[in-house]
Chain A
Amino acid sequence: MRDKILYVLGALAILILARDLYVIAGLPQEAAQGAIFKIIFFHVPAAWTAIVAAITALTMSVQFLRTKDFKYDAAAVAVTEVGLAFLAANLVTGSIWARVIWGIWWTWDVRLTSALVCWLLYAGYLMLRHAIEEPTQRATFAAVFSILAFLDVPIVYFSIRWFRTQHPAPVFLSSNGSFPADWTRVLLSNWLGLLLLAIVMTAIRLRQEESQREIDSLRRAAHAM
């Protein structure tokens, strides 16, 4: 049953994203930037998906520290790994856009740097988990690290409001925003597609954590024999 739901969600995500790709191709080019502007339809939803993943990881980590229930630890690692993939997609698409508009692949701007630091912190979280053998100690240290890593997320989000950055000013949820309503609909639809994809990926990754726990208990049983 669970597998069927995942297949349906995955297929739905692919359908939405394929349809959106067709819609995006038909949209007019932005006056100043031209076709490359359309990268926003992937760049921004990927960032929002990564933020949702980071908030979920924070919640799961706090829940683990509160309850010591390993299902929260499994959820935290699953959602962090998926969020990392989406943040990587966000950073790469942003860099490609920058090459055309700014003439450079990268600049040490507050938004870009804080996003890269965020990626490195969550990659560090996954590395930390590999470095600790004992499950309770691993889950506790990882939960604390995840909470600390989350401190960077508001900096990434608000950096374009707090500082004068080379990165464009916010066009959504802002008084200066001038994103047309029909474009916003496409962007939100693409976000829904990516979010569904992230949910499917997280559910698969979560199942793998359950399998890993089963392997650990089978190994313990084999040692005890």
Chain B
Amino acid sequence: MHLLAQTLLVAQASPEDIMQELARLQRNFHFLSYGFAAAWIILTLYVLMLVGRERKLKRQITNLKAMLEERQKMT
């Protein structure tokens, strides 16, 4: 029944209508992929920010510990 209704609809549509509908579906799909990509880019950027901060903190701790050890040796 559903297939018959669709066939009848397509039979009534002009080639321009079909092209327009195809373009709409294509655009819809493109925007969906942009949406998923944007969401993942935001989360990935945040993870990269976390990784960068982690490295910076580790470097700071190592430097401070080395500095303290040096000072202790001097005293």
Is A191 part of the contact surface with B, judged by Cβ < 8 Å?
no
Q: Once the chains bind, are B53 and A85 in contact (CB under 8 Å)?
A: no
Residues of B near A211 (CB, < 8 A) are: 54, 57-58, 61
Q: Once the chains bind, are B39 and A218 in contact (CB under 8 Å)?
A: no
Once the chains are docked, how many angstroms separate the CA of A89 from the CA of B25?
24
Residues of B near A197 (CB, < 8 A) are: 43
Which residue in chain B gives the minimum CB-CB distance to A92? B38
| Residues of chain A in range 210-225 having any CB-CB distance to chain B below 8 Å | 211-212, 214-215, 218-219, 221-222, 225
| Residues of chain A in range 5-47 having any CB-CB distance to chain B below 8 Å | 21, 33-36, 38-39, 42-43, 46
Residues of B near A215 (CB, < 8 A) are: 57, 60-61, 64
Q: Once the chains bind, are A92 and B28 in contact (CB under 8 Å)?
A: no
Residues of B near A222 (CB, < 8 A) are: 64, 67-68, 71
Once the chains are docked, how many angstroms separate the CA of A94 from the CA of B47?
22
Q: Whole-angstrom distance from the CB of B6 to the nearest CB of chain A? A: 12
Residues of A near B24 (CB, < 8 A) are: 34
Residues of A near B34 (CB, < 8 A) are: 96
Is A189 part of the contact surface with B, judged by Cβ < 8 Å?
no
| Residues of chain B in range 17-75 having any CB-CB distance to chain A below 8 Å | 24-25, 27-29, 31-32, 34-36, 38-39, 42-43, 46-47, 50, 53-54, 57-58, 60-61, 64-65, 67-68, 71-72, 75
Q: Whole-angstrom distance from the CB of B73 to the nearest CB of chain A? A: 12
Which residue in chain A gives the minimum CB-CB distance to B31? A100
Residues of A near B27 (CB, < 8 A) are: 100
User: Beyond A39-B36, A205-B50, A215-B57, is A225–B42 a contact (Cβ under 8 Å)?
Assistant: no
Which residue in chain B gives the minimum CB-CB distance to A200? B47
Q: Which of B42, B50, B58, B75 contacts A88 (CB 8 A)?
A: B42
Residues of B near A43 (CB, < 8 A) are: 35
Residues of B near A21 (CB, < 8 A) are: 36
Residues of A near B43 (CB, < 8 A) are: 85-86, 89, 197
User: Beyond A39-B36, A42-B36, A88-B42, is A218–B29 a contact (Cβ under 8 Å)?
Assistant: no
Q: Which of A39, A85, A212, A218 contacts B32 (CB 8 A)?
A: A39
Some 14 contacts from A to B, beta carbons below 8 A apart, are A35-B25, A36-B28, A38-B32, A39-B36, A93-B38, A97-B35, A205-B50, A207-B54, A208-B57, A211-B54, A212-B57, A218-B68, A221-B68, A225-B75
